[in-house]
Amino acid sequence: MPQSFSSRLPLSRFEIDRDYLTRERENLFDELWADPATRLLPIFEGSALLSGPTSLALLPPNALPNTGLRVFLGRSTSTTSPEPVGTAIVAVLLEDAGHLAEAEWGNLRRLGNTLSDRDAGLFTEALAILNWHASHLFSPRTGEATIAEKGGWVRRDPVSGTEVFPRTDPAIIVGITDADDRLLLGSNALWESNRYSLLAGFVEPGESLEHAVVREIFEESGIRVVNPVYLGSQPWPFPASLMLGFSAQVDPDFAGVQQPDGVEILDLRWFSREELAASLHEIKLPGRTSIARAIVEQWYGGIIDDGQD
């Protein structure tokens, strides 16, 4: 049976019950630290502590102090992980790696596709919520320093009492094909010159996802597209995006000339499947952790062996 598109998205996997009701407990972290079954996920400078090349290290509560920024991630539902089903897991942000400085730490971009379902979900959740905390340290109403509450899922303005909730930035990413079923790839100004990926962009206020597809593609390439079809979504916490995957076709009535915007996109290239395979020695494709890679490989018809992780 063909593999579903959603099953190809590494950071959309999860084996965690976020257990939102537990977040309401007033002394939640004291309770969790008093329970020896609780497990802690240390995060330092955007990396997670590892127990091996492809697995997260979860520590007992006596391994780290019950202080600083902590987020209750939920309870494990995995039947294949070392920790039993129902284990409470807390992300702990370390300001200093301390005695763990010489331990092995891992980056989600590099490891996302190699982690287990539970660990991929935990790392993605932890990084996304901690990145949100970092950008919401002060109240947008009064400028006062906000206070983390409700298991780390709310920040409160102590002056106005206003609660600030986590935010996610929706962004579309599109596999564009022409009448010959060639795929359009672009080179972004922020990447090395030989890296090519799909075109993408943020959804603007008051805009549907489908309109965002049409607008962003035209702005970045000068190409008009039609028939946006939703494929699936993947969180991308770098720092706070939700990538919404689409396919679309070049408008049959489009008579203009493709033109990279010169600001974000510096080059555009069309590839047939044969041309893409023949170009793998000269170009770099998006990494295997990204939804872009999943969309490219769905169009290609299988796994692309380009020697990348």
Pair (102, 192) in one structural domain = no
Indicate the helix (H) or strand (E) that contains 216. helix 209-221
Q: Are residues 296 and 174 in the same domain?
A: yes
Where does a domain end: 85, 118, 135?
A: 135
At 309, the pLDDT band (50, 70, 90 cuts) reads low
Does residue 152 sit within a domain? Answer: no
Per-residue confidence (pLDDT) for residue 4, from 0 to 100: 86
Assess whether 129 and 191 both reside in one domain. Answer: no
CA distances from 102 to 54, 105, 107, 154, 160 (A): 18, 9, 15, 33, 43
Q: Measured between alpha carbons, how far is 127 from 93 in angstroms, rounded to an integer?
A: 10
The answer to the question of residue 246 being in a domain is yes
Is 158 inside a domain boundary?
Answer: no
Same domain for 209 and 101, yes or no, is no
Ranges assigned E (strand) in 144-285:
147-149, 154-156, 163-164, 169-177, 183-188, 199-202, 225-236, 241-250, 265-271
In a domain, 84, yes or no: yes
249-271 pLDDT, tens digit each = 999 999 988 999 999 999 999 99
Is residue 161 in a domain?
no
Which residue, 117, 135, 153, sits at the end of a domain? 135
Q: Does any domain span residue 65?
A: yes
CATH number, domain containing residue 246:
3.90.79.10
Q: Is the pLDDT of residue 308 over 80?
A: no
Domain residues for 94? 6-135
pLDDT grade for 45, boundaries at 50, 70 and 90? very high
Single residue among 113, 135, 157 that ends a domain in this structure:
135
> Could you tell me if 28 and 131 lie in one domain?
yes
For residues 241 and 235, give the distance between their C-alpha atoms in angstroms, rounded to a whole number: 6
pTM of the model: 0.94
Contact 48, 126 (CB under 8 A): yes
Asked if residue 305 belongs to a domain, the reply is no
Task: Confirm whether 306 is domain-assigned.
Answer: no
